[in-house]
Structure 1
């Protein structure tokens, strides 16, 4: 497997399910960690930003919201860039943008500057890394894809466990400006991960006739679409997009506000930040485990319903956690939320890959992320606005839980009532057996077995009758006639023992 300039698609290339794919999986692990954990970990600096720029909770919540909105809203742009230039160069440029945004933010003089630098520039850089890494992971893994998605998704909680305490340390020692500058340097590792994304190329053949090479070139030409909108004709894709957009309204709200919730209850800053570490630690084990379960033979065909169950589990955890009144109850909430959040993270892109397939996935993920961008942009700021108006965290968590539960219900019911799988067409000889009841099928099978054994016995009995009688009976009749009419047939020759059989 070598490198090429463009990623025209995996047509004619079988996913290796290993080999260099493990290096691609490691890069996707790191990129997923930065993309999803960073918008949550940056909330550690919110308290200082509020004091520095004299703003409210809703104003600082816009930082995480813009980051996630850029991560989701630039999906079509990332799809076009990947189809035009390939995954590797797009990811390396994205790493430079992610680092540059945080470095610029360290020199900000207003909250709007942070919106533009941290939110827009860094968010764009993370988006240019996140989507291509998923595309490459989908191309390198097929049978082991659920496990690969679970392991890659585990990068988010691992990074959250590291970035949240790191942010606290950097904030105390260097302030929020020094912390932003150092984090910008850490984000340069995205360029290293981009260098690991080596495209798949088909095996070289010895010699091919000119007619075959021309036919291959003609087949490759229509695949050079920068963005494929035909995925909207798939009802499964539409259902998934609607449910995921509803889910995103409340999915990212609890991790953003749980630290502030603990501080409001009178806990120390370090103790409050520990909640994100607990959440991430549980999430680390939930995602690979969920990926293993999703790869089981009897679960993988029903992965959509497994995903809807994960949504309901997450929403119920939010609703129950909204009634927390002390630190211990928040710890219990973070444990159950981490499990359900890990299930959602491990399954969301696996389900999309299963719905649209490998060829349409680069365009499908871009369009899905664009549809979810509006919900991401509205979710955390609206929750912050509700918090500023009521000063009660219970309403924020309760609303987020209801939104996630609604998405799970929509996904399960719409797939059950609106989608029907077409049965595979059996062979012509099996149609009669499939149309009969089970009892008749068993009897027919027994009858066929008995019939086959009887036919075999009859053939064995007929073998001597078919082979020997035709030769021996005819020859004996001719000999008798020869002996009886020997004089007439043989003339002067007399019958003797030598002429008898």
Structure 2
């Protein structure tokens, strides 16, 4: 049977089947990120049943998050490709599409948090995990919605094939003495394609952005592990602690959609980078105030504020990545970005747990997370400022009509000697030629 022909799009369609891709990504984020966040509700159950301290129990959540971002296993096979597909189908409304797709994390947290608490009470933590496992099987349905798309820019950026690769398979002899030579020719082609696919790793903007991701990821992960235990430690009931997670999920949805819609407006479309670092910095600031909030009425505003800006910067991560590397390399760049989440996700909850065990308080853990996110924001701000200063310097040099200056090793400024001598020679020759009046 002949393979079905794919439509070649000049640019992303910004609609059509793209909305089904958004729906599929929405379900993927519910089944992956929301379920992972709900492990926080199991934290106290695990700690009580296995009789372990905070640092040991935190490894359960951190390993789930790490494997999701690091390997090609489990949730990782669904999460990164689904997010990359949305970027392929949308350009003008990319932030809004990502806002809707990533809001599945908040909606799932809002719905699943009280449900998981109820399941634990009715069926114990083992039965609750079995039911969640059955729910996660809906990822198979999400995969059926994903339809690859062919863009003109993808074909434009493909490396030209050599004559060997264009040769039809049936024209080649089954056994040839030239096969080792063909293998040697194919190896440079593979290296060239890999170099082109991951060329963004040498872009300075992407290196700075990737470095900031490490600090941001370190700060954002522990809250979803320790919010419920912290609330219980200050006297909040189990139902209210689970409700805090629901509030976090609901406001997360608002942050996803509204921030995505706002940054698609003409006034903010060129400032998505600034909006991203602003949201990350405010989440870090929220962390610094958390140790002072020791009652349910005070923790509710915290959950609202942190949840909103968490949804905001999560929406903008793929958008900012696309602005830095372009849509052609978006899938590979997102893979690298989410890969960089893995190490902080692995170590930050156990480190926070160790600080809680050592100090007997959550203050040191929350302050470290807050300063880590604030540093991530400051790093991006500083890099952006340096880039603007460099751009303005280059523009001013281009606009300067004066003679070019040369700096000698001793620091003095001199005009071009050769240019001056040429000019003097020209003047002397002109002076020596007699002028005739007609």
TM-score (norm 1): 0.68
SS of 1:364's equivalent?
A: helix
SS of 2:147's equivalent?
A: coil
Q: Give distance in 2, aligned partners of 1:43 and 1:213.
A: 51
Correspondent of 1:370 among 327, 339, 349: 339
> Is the deviation greater in 298-307 or in 383-392?
298-307
The question of 1:45 aligning with 2:42 is answered yes
Q: Give distance in 1, aligned partners of 2:367 and 2:328.
A: 39
Q: Give distance in 2, aligned partners of 1:3 and 1:30.
A: 29
Q: Give distance in 1, aligned partners of 2:354 and 2:64.
A: 18
Q: Give distance in 2, aligned partners of 1:249 and 1:389.
A: 19
Q: Give distance in 2, aligned partners of 1:73 and 1:197.
A: 22
The question of 1:141 aligning with 2:138 is answered no
Q: For the structure 1 residues 355 and 155, does the alpha-carbon distance in structure 2 shift closer, same or farther, using more than 3 Å as the test?
A: same
Q: For residue 258 of structure 1, what is the aligned residue in structure 2? A: 227
Q: For residue 367 of structure 2, what is the aligned residue in structure 1? A: 398
Q: Give distance in 1, aligned partners of 2:238 and 2:127.
A: 19
Q: For residue 349 of structure 1, what is the aligned residue in structure 2? A: 318
8 A Cα contact 1:3 1:198, kept in partner: no
8 A Cα contact 2:198 2:329, kept in partner: no
- What RMSD, in angstroms, separates the aligned Cα atoms of the two structures? 3.1
Q: Deviations over 1:364-422 (max 9, x none)?
A: 11222222321111111100111111121222222211111110000111122046787
Q: For residue 275 of structure 1, what is the aligned residue in structure 2? A: 244
Q: Give distance in 2, aligned partners of 1:11 and 1:374.
A: 38
The question of 1:68 aligning with 2:65 is answered yes
Structure 2 unaligned residues grouped into runs of 5+: 153-159, 167-188, 393-397, 402-438
Q: Deviations over 1:325-380 (max 9, x none)?
A: 21111111111111111111111121111111111112111222222321111111
Q: Give distance in 1, aligned partners of 2:214 and 2:264.
A: 25
Q: For residue 120 of structure 2, what is the aligned residue in structure 1? A: 171
8 A Cα contact 2:43 2:229, kept in partner: no
Equivalent positions of 1:19-58 (< 5 A) are: 19-58=16-55
Structure 1 unaligned residues grouped into runs of 5+: 79-123, 204-211, 424-431, 437-501
1:322, distance to aligned residue in structure 2 (A): 2.1
1:41, distance to aligned residue in structure 2 (A): 0.3
The question of 1:388 aligning with 2:385 is answered no
Q: For residue 395 of structure 2, what is the aligned residue in structure 1? A: none
1:165, distance to aligned residue in structure 2 (A): 1.2
1:228, distance to aligned residue in structure 2 (A): 2.9
Correspondent of 1:192 among 118, 138, 141: 141
SS of 1:322's equivalent?
A: helix
Q: Give distance in 1, aligned partners of 2:59 and 2:43.
A: 11
SS of 1:252's equivalent?
A: helix
8 A Cα contact 1:316 1:405, kept in partner: yes
The question of 1:288 aligning with 2:257 is answered yes
Q: Give distance in 2, aligned partners of 1:58 and 1:382.
A: 7
1:224, distance to aligned residue in structure 2 (A): 5.9
8 A Cα contact 2:110 2:245, kept in partner: yes
1:271, distance to aligned residue in structure 2 (A): 1.4
Q: For residue 15 of structure 2, what is the aligned residue in structure 1? A: 18
Q: For residue 446 of structure 1, what is the aligned residue in structure 2? A: none
8 A Cα contact 2:31 2:138, kept in partner: no
Q: For residue 411 of structure 1, what is the aligned residue in structure 2? A: 380
> Is the deviation greater in 389-398 or in 149-158?
389-398
Q: For residue 159 of structure 1, what is the aligned residue in structure 2? A: 108
Runs of 4+ in 1 over 4 A off after TM superposition: 2-5, 10-13, 212-215, 221-227, 419-423
Q: Deviations over 1:252-272 (max 9, x none)?
A: 212221111111112221111
8 A Cα contact 2:236 2:295, kept in partner: no
The question of 1:236 aligning with 2:200 is answered no
1:321, distance to aligned residue in structure 2 (A): 1.8
Aligned length: 366
Q: Give distance in 2, aligned partners of 1:60 and 1:135.
A: 33
Q: For residue 284 of structure 2, what is the aligned residue in structure 1? A: 315
SS of 2:374's equivalent?
A: helix
8 A Cα contact 1:316 1:401, kept in partner: yes
Higher relative contact order (CA 8 A, sep 6+): 2
- Of structures 1 and 2, the larger Rg is shown by 1
TM-score (norm 2): 0.77
Q: Give distance in 2, aligned partners of 1:291 and 1:48.
A: 37
Q: For the structure 1 residues 363 and 274, does the alpha-carbon distance in structure 2 shift closer, same or farther, using more than 3 Å as the test?
A: same
The question of 1:150 aligning with 2:147 is answered no
